[in-house]
A and B are shown apart, each in its own frame.
Chain A
Amino acid sequence: MAWPFPIEEGHVLAFTRATGEQAPAPGDVVPLTFAALTALHDPGHMRDMPPGGPPATGGETLLHAEQHFEYFAPLRVGAKTSVTERPGESWTKTSRRGEQLTFTELIKELRDDRGELVVRARTVLVSKASAGAVPDAPPP
């Protein structure tokens, strides 16, 4: 599935306010990690989230372990890109504390309006059963 990811000036401004940077002007190159912010335009993002917040994870903690970007062309404010997403590899490992860790990869590619690859982003997530985790409380 592909969805549009316009590089909007206001979205970039919101990002740079969070990071304390000067916002780039239209036509300028966006900060290096901005390509990860595709969720804003992802039609499936948070679509099924209940009113009480994100669903309980059943005692499992999901964390962001690694992030990788490859840049094939500069990504500029005002560009019209589209995003495709696919799963990458998955593997398991036992931590030094004996926890079973499951790693999963997610690969996103941003292409410009001519179909040329601009950025490839690879996310590695790790999930582990956490003894301290508790299910979400029901909404009040």
Chain B
Amino acid sequence: MTGPVVAVGDSRELVVCDEITRTQIAQYAGASGDFSELHTDEPHAIAAGQPKLMAHGMLTMALTAKVLTGWFGAVAARSFSARFVAPVWPGDRLTATATVVSLDRRDDGSYAALVSVDTANQLGDVVLRGRAVMTID
């Protein structure tokens, strides 16, 4: 019998974005249709109490997904959840760390890996906490 190719506690770290830019936030607004003024209108964002434009949480989640799909492949995903715990700003460098929390053997002989994934900025502050279930044949 062959076991899974990963073990509980295995971890991968990936810089998922070297530097968040205003252009990138605008690109994501266009692709997603989320033109909230907090993401697209810096004078308004500042008037609303923010230091500058805020990146979309979904942009951070999309970037975070790279560490999961780079490790397990895109077709392996069964679920992916995230809490946006701190804002992401232009200039931030984001690093995602994925760790296998548990492994369950499924009826078809494959494995389901529960993976925690945290993304932090250049100061080490966590901006996203996530979980995913990825299958391994």
Contacts and interface: CB of A to CB of B under 8 A. Distances in A.
Contacts of A132: 47-49
A64 B38 CA distance: 12
A69 B79 contact: yes
Given A36-B58, A37-B33, A39-B33, A66 B84 contact: yes
Contact of B74 (A14, A32, A40, A131): A32
Contacts of B48: 61, 130, 132-134
B39 to A, nearest CB: 10
B31 A71 contact: no
Interface in B35-70: 35-38, 41, 44, 47-49, 56-59, 61-63, 65-66, 68-69
A3 interface: no
Q: Bin the interface of chain B by size.
A: 35 or more
A31 B57 contact: no
B31 A18 contact: yes
A64 B57 contact: yes
Contacts of A20: 17, 24, 63
B123 interface: no
B33 A46 contact: yes
A39 to B, nearest CB: 3
Contacts of B30: 14, 18
Contacts of A84: none
Nearest to B85: A65
A108 to B, nearest CB: 13
A132 B49 CA distance: 5
A40 B92 CA distance: 27
Contact of A37 (B32, B47, B57): B32
A31 B62 contact: yes
A39 B81 contact: no
B77 A32 contact: yes
B79 A68 contact: yes
Nearest to A55: B37
Contacts of A68: 79-82
B16 to A, nearest CB: 8
Contact of B37 (A31, A53, A65, A131): A53
15 contacts: A15-B28, A21-B66, A24-B74, A31-B74, A33-B58, A33-B80, A37-B32, A46-B33, A53-B37, A63-B84, A65-B83, A74-B75, A132-B48, A136-B37, A136-B44
Interface of B: 17, 24, 27-28, 30-38, 41, 44, 47-49, 56-59, 61-63, 65-66, 68-69, 74-75, 77-84
